[in-house]
Chain A
Amino acid sequence: DQQVKQNSPSLSVQEGRISILNCDYTNSMFDYFLWYKKYPAEGPTFLISISSIKDKNEDGRFTVFLNKSAKHLSLHIVPSQPGDSAVYFCAASYGQGAQKLVFGQGTRLTINP
Protein backbone atom coordinates (compact mmCIF):
# COMPACT_ATOMS: atom_id res chain seq x y z
CA ASP A 1 0.00 0.00 0.00
CA GLN A 2 1.71 3.14 -1.26
CA GLN A 3 0.84 5.85 1.26
CA VAL A 4 2.67 8.59 -0.65
CA LYS A 5 2.42 8.65 -4.43
CA GLN A 6 4.07 10.67 -7.13
CA ASN A 7 2.25 9.64 -10.27
CA SER A 8 4.53 11.36 -12.76
CA PRO A 9 7.84 9.50 -13.14
CA SER A 10 9.25 12.33 -15.23
CA LEU A 11 8.64 15.94 -16.17
CA SER A 12 10.33 18.11 -18.78
CA VAL A 13 10.16 21.92 -18.54
CA GLN A 14 11.75 24.73 -20.46
CA GLU A 15 14.25 26.93 -18.66
CA GLY A 16 12.60 30.00 -17.18
CA ARG A 17 9.12 28.45 -17.03
CA ILE A 18 7.33 27.08 -13.99
CA SER A 19 7.83 23.48 -12.88
CA ILE A 20 4.99 21.87 -10.93
CA LEU A 21 5.57 18.55 -9.20
CA ASN A 22 2.66 16.74 -7.60
CA CYS A 23 2.26 14.34 -4.72
CA ASP A 24 -0.75 12.55 -3.22
CA TYR A 25 -1.05 10.80 0.12
CA THR A 26 -3.60 8.48 1.67
CA ASN A 27 -2.80 8.54 5.40
CA SER A 28 -4.71 11.36 7.10
CA MET A 29 -2.41 11.05 10.12
CA PHE A 30 0.45 12.70 8.22
CA ASP A 31 1.06 16.18 9.62
CA TYR A 32 4.39 17.17 8.12
CA PHE A 33 5.44 17.10 4.49
CA LEU A 34 8.80 17.60 2.85
CA TRP A 35 10.40 17.77 -0.56
CA TYR A 36 13.87 16.40 -1.18
CA LYS A 37 16.04 16.82 -4.24
CA LYS A 38 18.46 14.14 -5.38
CA TYR A 39 21.29 14.27 -7.88
CA PRO A 40 22.81 11.03 -9.27
CA ALA A 41 25.27 9.28 -6.93
CA GLU A 42 24.39 11.63 -4.07
CA GLY A 43 22.07 11.44 -1.09
CA PRO A 44 18.79 13.38 -1.03
CA THR A 45 19.03 16.97 0.14
CA PHE A 46 16.25 18.81 1.93
CA LEU A 47 14.48 21.43 -0.14
CA ILE A 48 11.36 22.71 1.61
CA SER A 49 8.72 21.54 4.06
CA ILE A 50 5.23 22.37 5.23
CA SER A 51 3.25 21.62 8.36
CA SER A 52 -0.36 20.51 8.10
CA ILE A 53 -1.49 23.68 9.87
CA LYS A 54 -0.42 25.69 6.81
CA ASP A 55 -1.47 25.56 3.18
CA LYS A 56 1.53 27.30 1.65
CA ASN A 57 5.21 27.74 2.35
CA GLU A 58 7.63 29.74 0.25
CA ASP A 59 11.43 29.78 0.07
CA GLY A 60 12.90 31.75 -2.78
CA ARG A 61 12.02 30.11 -6.08
CA PHE A 62 10.35 27.17 -4.31
CA THR A 63 6.77 27.10 -3.02
CA VAL A 64 4.95 24.13 -1.57
CA PHE A 65 1.15 24.03 -1.49
CA LEU A 66 -0.87 21.68 0.70
CA ASN A 67 -4.50 20.77 0.11
CA LYS A 68 -5.48 18.64 3.10
CA SER A 69 -9.03 17.93 1.94
CA ALA A 70 -7.68 16.48 -1.31
CA LYS A 71 -4.65 14.93 0.41
CA HIS A 72 -2.49 16.56 -2.21
CA LEU A 73 0.63 18.68 -2.20
CA SER A 74 2.60 20.30 -4.95
CA LEU A 75 5.99 21.90 -5.39
CA HIS A 76 6.29 24.92 -7.66
CA ILE A 77 9.67 26.04 -8.95
CA VAL A 78 9.75 29.38 -10.70
CA PRO A 79 11.68 30.27 -12.71
CA SER A 80 13.13 26.84 -13.49
CA GLN A 81 16.89 26.67 -13.97
CA PRO A 82 19.14 23.97 -15.50
CA GLY A 83 20.56 23.18 -12.05
CA ASP A 84 17.07 22.17 -10.95
CA SER A 85 17.33 19.02 -13.10
CA ALA A 86 17.22 16.21 -10.55
CA VAL A 87 14.89 13.64 -9.00
CA TYR A 88 12.43 15.15 -6.54
CA PHE A 89 10.97 13.11 -3.71
CA CYS A 90 7.91 14.00 -1.71
CA ALA A 91 7.90 12.65 1.87
CA ALA A 92 5.50 12.68 4.81
CA SER A 93 5.60 11.95 8.52
CA TYR A 94 3.48 12.24 11.65
CA GLY A 95 3.89 12.39 15.38
CA GLN A 96 6.65 13.62 17.64
CA GLY A 97 10.14 12.32 18.12
CA ALA A 98 11.93 10.39 15.39
CA GLN A 99 10.81 11.48 11.96
CA LYS A 100 9.81 8.25 10.24
CA LEU A 101 9.55 9.50 6.70
CA VAL A 102 7.40 7.81 4.06
CA PHE A 103 8.64 8.68 0.58
CA GLY A 104 6.98 8.84 -2.81
CA GLN A 105 8.58 7.15 -5.81
CA GLY A 106 10.17 10.34 -7.09
CA THR A 107 9.77 12.50 -10.21
CA ARG A 108 12.69 13.13 -12.53
CA LEU A 109 12.66 16.79 -13.55
CA THR A 110 14.58 17.85 -16.65
CA ILE A 111 15.01 21.53 -17.41
CA ASN A 112 15.66 22.16 -21.09
CA PRO A 113 17.58 25.23 -22.29
Chain B
Amino acid sequence: NAGVTQTPKFRVLKTGQSMTLLCAQDMNHEYMYWYRQDPGMGLRLIHYSVGEGTTAKGEVPDGYNVSRLKKQNFLLGLESAAPSQTSVYFCASSYLDTQYFGPGTRLTVL
Protein backbone atom coordinates (compact mmCIF):
# COMPACT_ATOMS: atom_id res chain seq x y z
CA ASN B 1 0.00 0.00 0.00
CA ALA B 2 1.97 2.99 -1.30
CA GLY B 3 -0.57 5.70 -0.38
CA VAL B 4 -0.04 8.79 -2.54
CA THR B 5 2.90 8.84 -4.95
CA GLN B 6 4.12 11.68 -7.15
CA THR B 7 6.24 11.60 -10.30
CA PRO B 8 8.80 13.10 -10.83
CA LYS B 9 10.45 14.12 -7.56
CA PHE B 10 12.51 16.90 -9.15
CA ARG B 11 12.38 18.73 -12.45
CA VAL B 12 14.07 21.75 -14.02
CA LEU B 13 12.31 23.48 -16.91
CA LYS B 14 13.10 26.41 -19.13
CA THR B 15 10.58 29.21 -19.49
CA GLY B 16 7.95 28.26 -22.03
CA GLN B 17 8.40 24.51 -21.76
CA SER B 18 5.54 22.25 -20.81
CA MET B 19 5.31 19.31 -18.45
CA THR B 20 2.90 17.07 -16.61
CA LEU B 21 3.10 16.04 -12.97
CA LEU B 22 1.52 12.71 -12.11
CA CYS B 23 -0.20 11.86 -8.85
CA ALA B 24 -1.38 8.34 -8.07
CA GLN B 25 -3.25 6.99 -5.06
CA ASP B 26 -4.11 3.42 -4.16
CA MET B 27 -6.63 4.13 -1.38
CA ASN B 28 -9.69 4.33 -3.66
CA HIS B 29 -10.31 7.93 -2.59
CA GLU B 30 -12.86 10.00 -4.46
CA TYR B 31 -11.30 13.39 -3.80
CA MET B 32 -7.89 14.49 -5.06
CA TYR B 33 -6.09 17.82 -4.81
CA TRP B 34 -3.07 19.72 -6.12
CA TYR B 35 -1.31 22.30 -3.93
CA ARG B 36 1.77 24.42 -4.29
CA GLN B 37 4.03 25.55 -1.47
CA ASP B 38 6.28 28.59 -1.72
CA PRO B 39 8.88 29.75 0.83
CA GLY B 40 7.31 31.40 3.88
CA MET B 41 3.83 30.49 2.75
CA GLY B 42 1.42 27.72 3.47
CA LEU B 43 0.14 25.32 0.87
CA ARG B 44 -2.27 26.85 -1.64
CA LEU B 45 -4.88 24.87 -3.52
CA ILE B 46 -4.46 24.88 -7.32
CA HIS B 47 -7.17 22.49 -8.53
CA TYR B 48 -9.14 19.63 -7.10
CA SER B 49 -11.36 16.76 -8.21
CA VAL B 50 -14.41 15.21 -6.57
CA GLY B 51 -14.34 12.09 -8.70
CA GLU B 52 -13.28 10.49 -11.97
CA GLY B 53 -13.86 12.83 -14.90
CA THR B 54 -14.38 15.93 -12.74
CA THR B 55 -12.11 18.87 -11.96
CA ALA B 56 -12.56 22.27 -10.31
CA LYS B 57 -10.50 25.40 -9.69
CA GLY B 58 -8.91 26.14 -6.37
CA GLU B 59 -7.34 29.31 -5.03
CA VAL B 60 -4.49 29.69 -7.57
CA PRO B 61 -5.50 27.90 -10.81
CA ASP B 62 -4.02 30.25 -13.42
CA GLY B 63 -1.33 28.70 -15.63
CA TYR B 64 -2.28 25.12 -14.73
CA ASN B 65 -4.60 22.49 -16.16
CA VAL B 66 -5.65 19.17 -14.63
CA SER B 67 -7.25 15.93 -15.69
CA ARG B 68 -8.74 12.97 -13.82
CA LEU B 69 -9.32 10.29 -16.42
CA LYS B 70 -8.94 7.46 -13.91
CA LYS B 71 -10.02 7.50 -10.28
CA GLN B 72 -6.55 6.72 -9.01
CA ASN B 73 -4.68 9.35 -11.05
CA PHE B 74 -4.71 13.15 -11.01
CA LEU B 75 -2.49 14.97 -13.51
CA LEU B 76 -1.29 18.56 -13.24
CA GLY B 77 -0.13 20.22 -16.45
CA LEU B 78 1.89 23.34 -17.11
CA GLU B 79 1.43 24.35 -20.76
CA SER B 80 3.99 27.16 -20.81
CA ALA B 81 6.09 27.26 -17.66
CA ALA B 82 7.01 30.58 -16.06
CA PRO B 83 9.59 31.36 -13.34
CA SER B 84 6.67 32.23 -11.00
CA GLN B 85 5.72 28.55 -11.11
CA THR B 86 8.93 27.54 -9.38
CA SER B 87 7.59 25.80 -6.30
CA VAL B 88 7.09 22.52 -4.50
CA TYR B 89 3.93 20.78 -5.65
CA PHE B 90 1.98 18.44 -3.40
CA CYS B 91 -0.80 16.13 -4.35
CA ALA B 92 -3.32 14.82 -1.82
CA SER B 93 -6.30 12.51 -1.72
CA SER B 94 -9.11 12.12 0.78
CA TYR B 95 -12.17 10.07 1.57
CA LEU B 96 -13.76 12.12 4.33
CA ASP B 97 -12.07 14.79 6.40
CA THR B 98 -8.43 13.74 6.29
CA GLN B 99 -6.17 14.47 3.35
CA TYR B 100 -3.18 12.24 2.68
CA PHE B 101 -0.30 13.94 0.95
CA GLY B 102 2.34 12.71 -1.44
CA PRO B 103 6.04 13.49 -0.95
CA GLY B 104 6.05 16.45 -3.33
CA THR B 105 7.66 17.48 -6.63
CA ARG B 106 10.25 20.24 -6.59
CA LEU B 107 9.96 22.21 -9.82
CA THR B 108 12.37 24.93 -10.91
CA VAL B 109 11.63 27.09 -13.93
CA LEU B 110 14.61 29.00 -15.29
Chain A interface (Cβ < 8 Å from any Cβ of B):
4, 6, 9, 32, 34, 36, 41-46, 49, 89, 91, 97-106
**Is B1 on the interface with A (CB-CB < 8 A)?**
no
- 6 pairs, A vs B, C-beta closer than 8 Å: A6-B42, A44-B43, A100-B45, A102-B45, A102-B59, A106-B42
Count of CB-CB pairs between chains A and B under 8 Å? 62
Nearest Cβ on chain B to A35's Cβ, whole angstroms: 12
Interface size on B, residues (CB 8 A): 27
Are A105's CB and B31's CB within 8 A?
no
Are B104's CB and A98's CB within 8 A?
no
Closest 9 CB pairs of A and B: A103-B42, A43-B101, A103-B43, A46-B98, A44-B101, A98-B50, A105-B42, A104-B42, A43-B103
Nearest Cβ on chain A to B96's Cβ, whole angstroms: 8
Q: Which residue of A lies closest to B40 (CB)?
A: A105
In the complex, what residues of A have CB within 8 A of residue B33's CB? 98, 101
In the complex, what residues of A have CB within 8 A of residue B94's CB? 99
Which of A6, A41, A49 has most B Cβ within 10 Å? A41
In the complex, what residues of B have CB within 8 A of residue A98's CB? 31, 33, 48-50, 56
Q: How many angstroms from the CA of A44 to the CA of B100 in the assembled complex?
A: 8
Nearest Cβ on chain B to A89's Cβ, whole angstroms: 6
**Is B74 on the interface with A (CB-CB < 8 A)?**
no
Q: Which of B96-110 contact A (CB under 8 A)?
A: 97-104
